[in-house]
Structure 1
C-alpha cells in the first residue's frame, strides 16, 4: 500500500499534472496538422525531457502520443487528410459523415472510443502485462510473416469498390517497399543512384503525398472553393454518442481488445491495429454495404483499436525492454537516460515508479476528454477558414513534415512524386489505403520470409510447424478462399431453395 501511495504522489502533484495538460495541448496541435505525426511529436519532446524528472518526462510522452492519435481524426474528418497514420484506416467513414453535416458527431464518437480504448489497454497492461509480453515473445519470423500477410489481405477485402483495383494499389505500395538494399545480397534496388534511398522509402513522406498532397492537387484541379461539408454550431458533440455506444458497445470492446493484442506485438503499432480491427469489424458486420458511406460502426472499431494499441505497445517495452512501436522505442531511450531500466526488474522497484507509470496512462486518457472536446468545438476553423488560405498552409506543413523525418530534400521530392501518382490513381477510383499498407507491411513480409527460409533451408512447410503460425496461416488461407466459399454457399442455398419449390 505504501508503494501505491508513493506512486500516486509522483503523479498527482502540480508539476506532473501541468506537464500532462501542456503535453495534451501540444499533442492536439501536432496531430491535427496533416504531415506531422505522433512519433515526430514525441521525438521533438525528447530534448525537453532532459530537464524533467522521470515521471513528468514519461507523462509528457504518453499524453502527447495519445492526444496526437486522436487529433489526427480532425483533419481526416473535415479535409479527408488523416493527421496521423493511425487515422487512415477510417478516414473515409469520418469524412463521409462530415459531408452529411455530422462532423461533430463523428469526432465525438472518435473521442469517446479513443478514451475507452486507451483506458482499456491500460487496464490490460496493468493486469496481464507479463502474460501478453510472453505471448508476443513467442512470435518468430513465421508468425510475423503470416500476421503481415493477414494485414495485406485485409487491405483488399475492406476496400470499397473493385478488388482488382485494390490489389493493384496494394502492389504499388509493395513495390515502394522494395526500394533500398536487398536483404540477402546487399545490392541496391530501385535507388537510381540516390544515396538517400539506400535505407528504403520512409513511410511518412509517402503518407503525406498520398493523402495530403493528393487532396491539395484535387482542390487546385477542381478550381472551386467548395468543401461539401456542413456544420451546425448548435450540434452537440456527445448528444448521439450514448445511442451509438449502446448499439456498438461490442465493437468498442472488440476493437480495444484487438488493438491491445496487436499493439503488444513488437513493431506492429497503432496503425496496423486500426486496420485489422476495421477489417474484422467489417467482416462481422451485418451492414457491410454501409462501409465507406459514413458508417459509425467502422469508426467505433478502428478508433478504439488505435489508442488501445498505444497502451499495448508498452507491454513488451516495460516488461522486456523490446519496443512495441516507434514511440516506445524513443521511450526506452528516455527510461535508460533516467536510470529506469526496462525489463522484469522494473516490477520489483520499491519506489512505486511502475504504479506511477500506470496512473499516468489513466490520467492522460482522462485528460483527453476535456481537451479533446475543446479541440472539437474549435475544429470548425477548418471549415470557416477559406481554402485559398488553408491549403497553402497545409502544403507548408506537408513540406516541413516530409523534410523533418530525415532532414532530406529527397523526401520532399518523394512526397511530390507519390502525391502526383496518388492523384492519378484517385481520379481513376483506385483506393489509397492498400498502397499505404503495402508499403508498411511489404518489408515485413519480405524480411520475415527470407529469415524463415534461411533458418529452415528453404522448407515451406515450416510455416505450418508451430501452433500460432499454423493458426495464422489457416486464417489467411480461409480469408483468401472466403469469396469462393461464400459463392459456393449461396449457390448451395439457391439450389436447395429451387429444389424445395
Structure 2
C-alpha cells in the first residue's frame, strides 16, 4: 500500500501531469498526419526525454504512443489514408462508414474501443507482470541467453514477408551492437581506430536514423504538394457508438485479451494485433459478407486490439528487458540512459516506479476520449499543414537530438548513414523491426552466452542442463527451423512461378 501511495504521489505531480498532457497533444498531432507513425513520433521524443527524470520520460513516450495510434484512425476515416500502420487493418471499414454518412460513428467507435482495449491491456500488465517477474528471478545466464535469442527469433519470424530478409536485417543489427569494447573481454571491435566508437554506438542516433530519417526520406516526393486534400467536417462523433459497443461486446473483450497476448510477443506489435483480430472477427462473425462494406464489427475488434497490444508489449520489456516491439525497444534504450536496467529486479528495487508506470498507462488511456474528441474536431486543420514546412522542421529536430547525445558530430553522421540504409532496406522490403531489436538484444545475448561458456568451460550442452533453459532452447531452435523452412519454401515457390511463366 505504501508503494502504491508513493507511485500515486509520483504520477500526480505537476511536472509529470504536464509531460503527459504535452506528449498526448504531440502524439495526436503525429498520428493525425499520414506517414508520421507512432514509432517515428516516439523516436522524435527521445532527445527531449534525455533531459528528464525516468518517470516523466517514460510517461511522455507512453502517452504519445497511445494518442498517436488513436489519431492514426482519423485520416483513415476521412481520407482513406491510415495515419499509422496499426490503423491500416480497418481503414476501409471506417472510410466506407463515412461514405454512408457515419464518419462520426466510425471515429467514436475507434476512440471508445481503443480506451476499452487499452484498459484491458493495462489490467493484464499490472496483474501478471509482477507474477512473471517473481518467476524470472530464478533465471541464470543460460535462461537469459535463450530468452533473448527466442525474442529475436520471433521478431524475424513475424516480421512479415521474406524470412531471409528479416534474418539479414537482424544480422545487421547485431553487427551494430558489436561495435565498441566487449562487455566481457574488453576487446575493441569494429572501431576502425576512432576513439569515439570505443564506447559503442549510442542507441539514440540509431533510433532516430532508422525510424525518423528513413521515414522522412520516403516522404520527400510529398514535399512539393501544398497540403493533403481538406476533409469534410465531423458531425456527432458518438452517435450510435453505445449501441454498436453493446452489440459487439464479445468482440471487444476478445480483442482486448488477444491483442495484449499478441503485443507480448517480441516483434509483433499493434499492427499485427489489429490485422489478426480483424481477421478473427470476420471468421467468427455471423455476417462475414458485410466486412469490407463499412461494417462496424471489424472496426470494433481491430480498434480494441490496437491499444491492448501497446500495453502487452511492455510485459517482456519490463520483466525481461526484451522489447515487445520497436516502441518498447526505444523505452528500454531510454531507461538504460537513465541508469535503470529493465528486468525482474526492477520490480523489487524500483517497485514504486513500476507502479507509477502502470498508473500512467491507465491515465493515458482514459485521456484518449477527451483528447481524441479534440483531435477529431481539429483534424481538418492538422491535415492541412504543408509538408514542405513540416518535414524540414522534423529533420532539424532529428539532427539536434542526435548531436545532444554525446555532443559529437559522429552521432549525427551515424544517424544520417543509418537513415539512408534503412530507407533502401524498406524500399527493398527488408523489415526494420528485427534490426532495432537486434541492436537492443545483441549485448544481452552476447554477454549471457559468454558468461555461460566461461562457467561451463566451453561445453555448449550445459545450456540445456536446466529445465527452463532447455525448454526455451528447444523453442528457439524450433523457431529457427521454421525460419529456414519458410525461406526454402519461399525460394521453391518463386522458382516454380518463374519456370511456369
Same fold at TM > 0.5: yes
Are 1:461 and 2:465 counterparts?
A: no
- Quote the Cα distance in structure 2 between the aligned partners of 1:485 and 1:466: 28
1:154 aligns with 154
2:170 aligns with 170
Are 1:121 and 2:122 counterparts?
A: yes
Normalised by the length of structure 1, the TM-score is 0.66
Checking the alignment, whether the CA contact within 8 Å between 2:71 and 2:375 is kept in structure 1 is no
2:211 aligns with 211
2:308 aligns with 304
2:473 aligns with 473
CA RMSD across the alignment: 5.1
Q: Please, which of 251, 257, 278 is the counterpart of residue 253 of structure 1? A: 257
- Quote the Cα distance in structure 2 between the aligned partners of 1:76 and 1:435: 25
Checking the alignment, whether the CA contact within 8 Å between 2:122 and 2:358 is kept in structure 1 is no
Are 1:28 and 2:32 counterparts?
A: no
1:492 aligns with none
2:343 aligns with none
Give unpaired runs (5+ residues) of structure 1.
Answer: 50-57, 81-89, 263-271, 318-323, 334-340, 348-352, 489-501
Q: Please show how residues 477-496 of structure 1 align to structure 2 within 5 Å.
A: 477-482=477-482
Normalised by the length of structure 2, the TM-score is 0.66
Shift of 1:151: 2.2
Partner SS for 1:461: helix
Q: Please show how residues 351-370 of structure 1 align to structure 2 within 5 Å.
A: 362-370=362-370
Q: Please show how residues 7-86 of structure 1 align to structure 2 within 5 Å.
A: 7=5, 16=12, 21-29=17-25, 31=27, 32=30, 34=41, 36=43, 40-46=47-53, 63-73=59-69
Structure 1 residues 313 and 184 mapped into 2: Cα distance closer, same or farther (>3 Å)?
A: closer
1:421 aligns with 421
Q: Please show how residues 244-323 of structure 1 align to structure 2 within 5 Å.
A: 246-247=250-251, 249-257=253-261, 275=268, 301=305, 303-310=307-314
Q: Please, which of 75, 85, 95 is the counterpart of residue 92 of structure 1? A: 85
Structure 1 residues 368 and 485 mapped into 2: Cα distance closer, same or farther (>3 Å)?
A: same
Structure 1 residues 114 and 475 mapped into 2: Cα distance closer, same or farther (>3 Å)?
A: farther
Partner SS for 2:51: helix
Checking the alignment, whether the CA contact within 8 Å between 2:41 and 2:64 is kept in structure 1 is no
Partner SS for 1:249: helix
- Quote the Cα distance in structure 2 between the aligned partners of 1:343 and 1:310: 17
Structure 1 residues 368 and 107 mapped into 2: Cα distance closer, same or farther (>3 Å)?
A: same
Shift of 1:459: 1.9
Structure 1 residues 433 and 245 mapped into 2: Cα distance closer, same or farther (>3 Å)?
A: farther
Partner SS for 2:413: helix
Checking the alignment, whether the CA contact within 8 Å between 2:223 and 2:387 is kept in structure 1 is no
- Quote the Cα distance in structure 2 between the aligned partners of 1:435 and 1:77: 27
- Quote the Cα distance in structure 2 between the aligned partners of 1:434 and 1:128: 26
1:371 aligns with 371
Shift of 1:485: 8.0
Deviations 1:217-256 (A, max 9, x none): 2333577539989955428877788488743633421343
Give unpaired runs (5+ residues) of structure 2.
Answer: 31-39, 77-82, 284-291, 293-297, 322-330, 341-345, 489-501
1:408 aligns with 408
- Quote the Cα distance in structure 2 between the aligned partners of 1:258 and 1:232: 35
Partner SS for 1:139: coil
Shift of 1:302: 6.0
- Quote the Cα distance in structure 1 between the aligned partners of 2:277 and 2:473: 20
Structure 1 residues 113 and 148 mapped into 2: Cα distance closer, same or farther (>3 Å)?
A: farther
2:497 aligns with none
- Quote the Cα distance in structure 2 between the aligned partners of 1:108 and 1:407: 46
357-366 or 432-441: bigger deviation: 357-366
Checking the alignment, whether the CA contact within 8 Å between 1:252 and 1:301 is kept in structure 2 is yes
1:388 aligns with 388
1:85 aligns with none
Deviations 1:145-187 (A, max 9, x none): 2222222222322233222222222222222121111234322
Checking the alignment, whether the CA contact within 8 Å between 2:333 and 2:440 is kept in structure 1 is no
- Quote the Cα distance in structure 2 between the aligned partners of 1:314 and 1:449: 21
Deviations 1:340-370 (A, max 9, x none): x9848979xxxxx999997666445423432
Partner SS for 1:34: helix
Partner SS for 1:455: helix
Shift of 1:203: 2.8
- Quote the Cα distance in structure 2 between the aligned partners of 1:232 and 1:135: 53
Deviations 1:21-69 (A, max 9, x none): 42322222555473645655544333xx9xxxxxxxx6x5664342033
- Quote the Cα distance in structure 1 between the aligned partners of 2:92 and 2:402: 29
Checking the alignment, whether the CA contact within 8 Å between 1:121 and 1:311 is kept in structure 2 is no
